[in-house]
Structure 1
Amino acid sequence: MNWKRYTALLLPGLLLAGCYTAPQRPLDSAGQRQPAPVSSVPDNAAVVTPAEERGIQITAYEPAPAIPLTPLHSRAVGALLKTALEQERTDDLNGAVGTIERALRIEPRNAHLWYRLASLRLTQGRHLLAADLANKSLTLAGGDVALKRDGWQLIARARRAAGDVSGAKVAERKARRLQ
């Protein structure tokens, strides 16, 4: 019969039951066990005390304030960014692109630099290249939601300028999801 199967299931349970010890009440100063506390509330009744009485403070959920994430970069990259901004201000877009590319050789995993380069390429009218560079920025952005949103918006503008209206709409939807 299947008594072997039942024995195999029952034996571990019996062994564990033999290891059980009932919870102990603390000893009083004379070494005697204290009697169980007597309650006027029946055992099956639930006692609910207000949160204030238990010392619990209840507040509504408020999300943490958004902390603007500033790009962290070395001093050399900071100096190059400053130079690139000055070059862009004086309409030297090719010089600004070259300066950002130099900064990327120093910090190739800096998502903000890739976004900046994509923005410059979009301004130059190199739409497909701008979308590709913004996509590179997205892959390196990590948890920087603002940079990701800006990247998707740049991709949408670049695709729309290149004539890819459906691709632009997809990128705009992705940007809206990050707001």
Structure 2
Amino acid sequence: MNWKRYSALVLPVLLLVGCYTAPQRPAEPAAPRQTTPDYDPASGGAVVTPAEEKEIQISAYEPAPAAPLTPLHSKAVGALLNTAQQQERNNDLVGAVGTIERALRIEPRNAHLWYRLATLRMTQGRHALASDLATKSLSLAGADVALKRENWQLIARARRATGDISGAKVAERKARMLN
């Protein structure tokens, strides 16, 4: 019975001890700034005085404009692209689609080939399929901003052709954001 009485007293004391924090000292004021010249390793060891320091300008980092990436493909795919281009000039859209599909079997992750197939499907009047293929190209485009912009423009035209005006406006807005 004593044990219960002591534990009822000890437990609150232990809880209070666990919550205790030592008093904090007030922070000391910061030391005044030195007016002596500082060593500047960027200038080859020259000394920068406080007066010169005021003249130094710092500008924000601006990345270089994104250059369109040239489509990289194998010789076989290049030959197939030439054949598809010739077939399209001869109005053989079915043959051109088949040729691009053969190229895609060789390089299925080539975003430029998917875009090319999307443009052919758009020319054939298969607008929903063209939009889907352009979306596939977008997913593979990586850092190629120009290709992404072309895909969004194609998606906008395809959606407008299917009557999806609000979807077309969204796609056009996304294309403009990439300019």
Number of aligned residues: 144
2:32 to 31, 44, 62: 44
Q: State the match for 1:79 in structure 2.
A: 79
Percent sequence identity over matched residues? 73
Q: Identify which range, 62-71 or 115-124, moves more after superposition.
A: 62-71
Query: How much has 1:79 moved relative to structure 2?
Result: 0.8
- Kindly provide the amino acid, as one letter, of the partner of residue 79 in structure 1: A
Structure 2 gap ranges (5+): 1-12, 24-30, 36-49
C-alpha distance 162-49 of structure 1, shift in aligned 2 (>3 A)? same
**Alpha-carbon spacing, 1:59–1:82, altered in 2? closer, same or farther (3 Å):** same
The residue number in structure 2 matching 1:109 is 109
Uncovered stretches (5+) of structure 1, i.e. residues with no partner = 11-42
Q: Following TM superposition, by how much is the alpha carbon of 1:71 offset from its aligned partner in structure 2, in angstroms?
A: 1.1
> SS of the counterpart of 1:115?
helix
Please name the residue that 1:147 is paired with. 147
TM-score normalised by structure 2 residue count: 0.70
Asked if the contact 1:51–1:58 (Cα under 8 Å) also holds between the matched residues in 2, the reply is no
Displacement of 1:177 in angstroms is 1.3
Give the distance between the partners of 2:19 and 2:62, measured in 1 at CA.
56
User: Per-residue deviation at 1:66?
Assistant: 3.3
Partner of 1:31: none
Deviation at 1:162, TM superposition (A): 1.3
> Could you tell me how far apart the structure 1 residues matched to 2:65 and 2:143 are?
15
Answer whether contact 1:115 1:151 (CA < 8 A) is retained: yes
CA distance in 2, matches of 1:174, 1:95: 32
Q: What do you get for the CA RMSD once the two structures are aligned? A: 2.6
The amino acid of 2:64's aligned partner reads: A
Q: Deviations over 1:154-178 (max 9, x none)?
A: 0000111111111111111111111
Distance 1:88 1:6 in 2: 82
TM-score, structure 1 as length reference: 0.70
Structure 1 Cα separation of the partners of residues 174 and 82 of structure 2:
31
1:120 is aligned to 120
